[in-house]
Amino acid sequence: MLGVVGSGTMGNGIAQVFSMYKHPVVLVDVDAAAVKRGMDAIKGSLDRIVKKERMTADEAQDVLGRIRPSTSVKDLAEAELVVEAIVENTAVKEKLFRDLDAAVRKDAILATNTSSIWVTKIAAATKRPDKVIGMHFMNPVPMMKLVEIIRGHDTSDATTARVMDLAKGLDKTPVEVKDSPGFVSNRVLLPMINEAIFCLHEGVGTAEAIDTVMKLGMAHPMGPLQLADFIGLDVCLAILEVLQKDLGDDKYRPCPLLRKMVMAGHLGKKSGRGFYSYA
């Protein structure tokens, strides 16, 4: 059995993919309403797959049936591996890892889906740093092939091998990288998104102009501002703050417009409004 903690954008996608590849899953969130939202999102995603005739309705029902919703990490006692996908906040993640360390089997692997926080720091909150690793899925999880695998300072070879195998078994492509703020993916992506927001802020181009330049000119499937809306502007801001602080370089300073939009509650697709409108 596999566990997922956090049933938001990433957690429900990870639980869905685990179950689609026949792993029984326990999906944990803070309260019943949050975990229900996660289960509803999975159901919606499966319905779309059935509509496209890539799965039968019976198969979708089986996938849903393999996921057990829960509000307690105690239900993860028998999990062989747990992926954490809760809010991007170091203190909150450290507390969860302390709780997980006490709740799960001694040989269980604890993986984090963090976008930017040191895996080594999260691992240090446990008594099993050799079994803690970054398993960074991309959004939307069912569609994206990459899983960035991040080794903390003390992550063992056995843990890394197990997680690489698990990712391959989900038809994903795992890529191993070292622990460093933002890893490779967000260290490269977020400065580009931030620069696109600066272009908008300074009136260099409209959102549509900036995104069109990057789509047609650089063959990106999605422009950086639309991508920021999909990631969540609060998540983008949190990652840039980690890059600026932990790499000690102000070239990662978040654009004031990004800060202002997060303050105003315009978080992108999930709130209905970001650089674009999603009414």
Which contiguous run of DSSP H or E holds residue 123?
helix 119-123
Which candidate in 7, 45, 136, 194 is catalytic? 136
Residue 240 beta carbon to ligand NAD: minimum distance, rounded to whole angstroms: 12
Can you read off the two tokens belonging to residue 62?
């089986």
Which candidate in 7, 70, 185, 186 is catalytic? 186
Catalytic status, residue 186: yes
Distances (CA, A) of 218 to 187, 193, 212, 213, 215: 19, 14, 9, 7, 6
Task: Report cis status (omega within 30 of 0) of the bond before 140.
Answer: yes
Residue 169 beta carbon to ligand NAD: minimum distance, rounded to whole angstroms: 20
* Among candidate residues 185, 140, 166, the one with its CA nearest the CA of residue 83: 166
Residue 222: how many CB atoms within 10 A of its CB? 13
**Residues 6+ away with beta carbon under 8 Å from 227:** 189, 193
- Complex with ligand NAD: residue 207 or 239, whichever CB lies closer: 239
Per DSSP bridges, beta strands 132-137 and 146-151 are antiparallel
- Complex with ligand NAD: residue 80 or 99, whichever CB lies closer: 99
Distance (Å, whole) CA 122 – CA 73: 17
Which candidate in 19, 113, 116, 148 is catalytic? 148
Is 112 within 8 Å of 86 (Cβ atoms)?
A: no
Residue 51 beta carbon to ligand NAD: minimum distance, rounded to whole angstroms: 24
- Complex with ligand NAD: residue 136 or 151, whichever CB lies closer: 136
- Complex with ligand NAD: residue 189 or 255, whichever CB lies closer: 189
Residue 202 beta carbon to ligand NAD: minimum distance, rounded to whole angstroms: 26
> Contact positions toward ligand NAD, by CB under 6 A?
5-11, 28-30, 34, 85-88, 92, 96, 113-115, 136, 139, 231-232, 235
Residue 88 beta carbon to ligand NAD: minimum distance, rounded to whole angstroms: 4
Distances (CA, A) of 156 to 75, 81, 129, 152, 160: 26, 15, 8, 9, 6
- Complex with ligand NAD: residue 215 or 269, whichever CB lies closer: 269
Catalytic status, residue 266: no
Which candidate in 7, 19, 70, 115 is catalytic? 115
Helix, strand or coil, per DSSP, at residue 4: strand
Catalytic status, residue 136: yes
Residue 87 beta carbon to ligand NAD: minimum distance, rounded to whole angstroms: 4
Nearest residue to ligand NAD, using CB? 8
Catalytic residues: 115, 136, 148, 186
